[in-house]
Structure 1
Amino acid sequence: MDLTHILTFNLALAAAIASPGPAFLISVKTTLTGGRRAGLAVGAGLALVAALWTLAALLGLEAIFAAFPWAYIAMKTVGALYLLYIAYGMWKGARAPLAPTDVKPARHAFWQGVAIQIMNPKSVLFAAAVLVVIFPPGMTLAQKGFVFANHLAIELIFYSLLAFGMSTSTARNAYLHAKLYLDRIAALVLSALGLRLLFGK
């Protein structure tokens, strides 16, 4: 493994993080409604589990899913239902004005980020596919640990920058003016992702 492998992995990772998936949407929504601290916390939860999925792929968890398909199906089903549950809450609360009760403690935001990522077993399969293409076989345990730490750092940097950017008064005011439409669009996107996870192969 050399610097070229890490740079290639980081480019692929940046593209994956910035795509409008459930992690990105939850990070933006949490920051806009709960503030910077909540945004940093949910980002930390998302980053930790995403990096752990990569570590799991490096250690061969995708082989376990292949050997025990029921485990993958069970995790995928629970994850899809969780996304649909969040989407339902967003749609239902789209017309409700923001109130102090909308501001969740940072600890709650962190565990929400953990739950979002851990309920998506496709992440480990995606990570495994990317890792096989980018990294050479026969990596040492230390090299795998470095890839994990690198992934965690990239995710933390991204979600921290997102939290700082979306916690400004300008971003919050823009969200408040378009809350109904933004919440419902986000709910539809999460629903589509949940249904795709539930019924897709």
Structure 2
Amino acid sequence: MELSHLITFNIALIASILSPGPAFLIALKTTLSSGRQAGVAVGLGLGLVASFWTLAALFGLEAVFLAFPWAYALVKGVGAVYLLYVGYGMWRGAREPVTATVKPARHAFRQGMMINILNPKSVLFAAAVLVVIFPEGMRLTENLLIVANHLIIEVTFYTTLAFGMSRPSVSQGYLRAKVYLDRVASVVLGLLGLRLLFSR
């Protein structure tokens, strides 16, 4: 493995993180509604599981999903239902006032983990990117370096997002538009859940 491989992987990873998926939406909403600490916590949960999916892909978990389609379908179905549940809760609570205890950090961490645990496409995406970028026959230390690198990128990104979006001017803007922003986010999460449920 060369440094250029890792740089290419990081570019692909950052592009993936920035795409408007459930992980990004949950991190953004959590920070705006519950503050910096919860935003960092949800990012830690998201990053920990995302890096685990990369580890799983490196050791061939995608082959298990391909060999046992029912396992993939089960995880995908549960994940879709969870996204629909989160989206429904966001829609229902759109008009509720934001308080300091909306989402403790430990709850945000668990939710971040759940969002990525119940997204089996993450491991297939990781596997596809890894196959294209990295050479075959890498050593264990190189595989672990890739996983550690993934975790650092994810945590750094979501921590930076939490600090940037928790500024008073940004938070106040969110509070003024909370109903509309929450409704839009809930619809997007619902559509992502339906897409996950009905996609192959």
- TM-score, normalised to structure 1's length? 0.98
The question of whether the paired residues in 1 share the 8 Å contact of 2:46 and 2:113 is answered with yes
Greater mean alpha carbon deviation, residues 80-89 or residues 93-102: 93-102
RMSD: 0.7
Q: Residue 139 of structure 1 aligns to a residue in which SS? A: coil
Consecutive unaligned residues in structure 1, runs of 5 or more? none
Code of the aligned partner of 1:126: F
Task: Give the Å deviation of 1:100.
Answer: 3.6
Code of the aligned partner of 1:178: A
Code of the aligned partner of 2:96: A
Q: Look up the match of 1:180.
A: 179
Task: Give the Å deviation of 1:121.
Answer: 0.3
Map Cα deviations across residues 72-108 of structure 1 (whole Å, 9 max, x no partner): 0000000000000000001111111212442x22111
Consecutive unaligned residues in structure 2, runs of 5 or more? none
* Counterpart-to-counterpart distance in 2, 1:124 and 1:61: 8
Q: Look up the match of 1:50.
A: 50
Code of the aligned partner of 1:19: S
Q: Residue 96 of structure 1 aligns to a residue in which SS? A: coil
Code of the aligned partner of 2:184: I
4+ residue runs over 3 A deviation: none
Code of the aligned partner of 1:124: V
Code of the aligned partner of 1:62: E
* Counterpart-to-counterpart distance in 2, 1:18 and 1:177: 25
Q: Look up the match of 1:167.
A: 166
Alignment length (residue pairs):
200
* Counterpart-to-counterpart distance in 1, 2:46 and 2:39: 11
* Counterpart-to-counterpart distance in 1, 2:153 and 2:162: 14
- TM-score, normalised to structure 2's length? 0.98
Given the superposition, is the C-alpha separation of residues 157 and 101 from structure 1 closer, same or farther in structure 2, using an over 3 Å criterion? closer
* Counterpart-to-counterpart distance in 2, 1:83 and 1:50: 17
Q: Look up the match of 1:97.
A: 97
Given the superposition, is the C-alpha separation of residues 32 and 12 from structure 1 closer, same or farther in structure 2, using an over 3 Å criterion? same
Map Cα deviations across residues 15-42 of structure 1 (whole Å, 9 max, x no partner): 0001111000100111111111111000
Identity %: 65
Q: Look up the match of 1:5.
A: 5
Q: How does 1:90-169 map to 2 (within 5 A)?
A: 90-102=90-102, 104-169=103-168
Q: Look up the match of 1:82.
A: 82
